[in-house]
Structure 1
Amino acid sequence: MNPDLDLTLERIIRAPRSVVWKAWTDPDSFAKWWVPAPMVCRVERFEARSGGALVTRMSEDGVDFVPQLDATFLVVEDLERIVFTNAIDSAWRPVNPEPVTMAAEINLADHPDGTAYKVVVRHADPASRKRHAELGFADGWGTVTRQLAELAEAAR
């Protein structure tokens, strides 16, 4: 982790790692927690494998959906790690998405209380990291992580 380039979030989710993994890799489960409520997420493409697509849309009213994320999974290690980037879109084209380009790494590990969940979001330069922080990284990723935890803890 490079504090000049990366933003992180850690949480203990009181559910087995397999349940948290399913919430991350099952498109129906993913749609339930991926955007901060009351926004609604629709998964357009979801191929939880290295090189697979991750495309979502979001809506304030559940009717009109706008693009939210067009990304590629770089690494998917069963029950342990997911890495995706929006620097390469779902068609494998290099892009420069707004508002910020990033690579996100999600790590899961066993913990006596459930699952140790860690997110590291990497940026190319300090300005991009700063912009992402100012746009509300802590609130946004914090909210969806809480929603993920609530879903996983209810399913355990």
Structure 2
Amino acid sequence: MNPDLDLTLERIIRAPRAEVWKAWTDPASFEQWWIPAPMQCRVERFEARPGGALVTRMSEDGTAFVPHLDASFLLVDELERIVFTNAVDSAWRPAAPEPVVMTAEIIFGDHPDGTDYRVIVRHGDPASRARHEKLGFAEGWGTVTGQLAALAEERAAR
């Protein structure tokens, strides 16, 4: 982790790691938490494997969906780690997405209370990191992580 280039988020999710992993890797579950509510998410492509596509759309009204994320998975280590980037789109073409190019690493660990969930979002330069932070990284990623936790915790309680 490089504090000049990376933004991080950590949370203990009170659900087993397998439940959090499932909420992350099942497209129907992913749609339920990936975008801050009340916005809605639609998964266009979700291939949780190295080189697989991660393409989502978002909507304010549930009717008109616009592009949100066109990315590629770089690494998918079951129950351990997911790495994806929007620097390479779902067709494996170099991309320069607005507002920021990033590579995100999601780490799933065991914790006595459930899952130690960690996010590291890497940027190519300090200006990109600062832009992402100013645009609301902590609030946005914090909100969706809360939504992920709520889904996984609810399922674990069943």
TM superposition score category, shorter chain reference? over 0.9
Instruction: Give the C-alpha shift of residue 29 in structure 1.
Output: 0.2
Match of 2:9 in 1: 9
Instruction: Give the C-alpha shift of residue 54 in structure 1.
Output: 0.1
Match of 2:120 in 1: 120
Match of 2:84 in 1: 84
Q: Deviations over 1:128-151 (max 9, x none)?
A: 000000000000000000000000
Q: How does 1:116-155 map to 2 (within 5 A)?
A: 116-155=116-155
Query: Percent identity among equivalent residues?
Result: 77
CA distance in 2, matches of 1:97, 1:58: 16
Match of 2:95 in 1: 95
**1:20 maps to amino acid:** V
CA distance in 2, matches of 1:50, 1:20: 19
Match of 1:107 in 2: 107
The TM-score normalised by the length of structure 1 is: 1.00
CA distance in 2, matches of 1:37, 1:155: 19
CA distance in 1, matches of 2:23, 2:84: 16
**2:79 maps to amino acid:** L
Instruction: Give the C-alpha shift of residue 63 in structure 1.
Output: 0.1
**1:121 maps to amino acid:** V
Match of 2:27 in 1: 27
The TM-score normalised by the length of structure 2 is: 0.99
Q: Deviations over 1:37-65 (max 9, x none)?
A: 00000000000000000000000000000
Q: Deviations over 1:12-33 (max 9, x none)?
A: 0000000000011000000000
* Structure 1 alignment gaps of length 5 or more: none
Q: Deviations over 1:96-120 (max 9, x none)?
A: 0000000000000000000000000
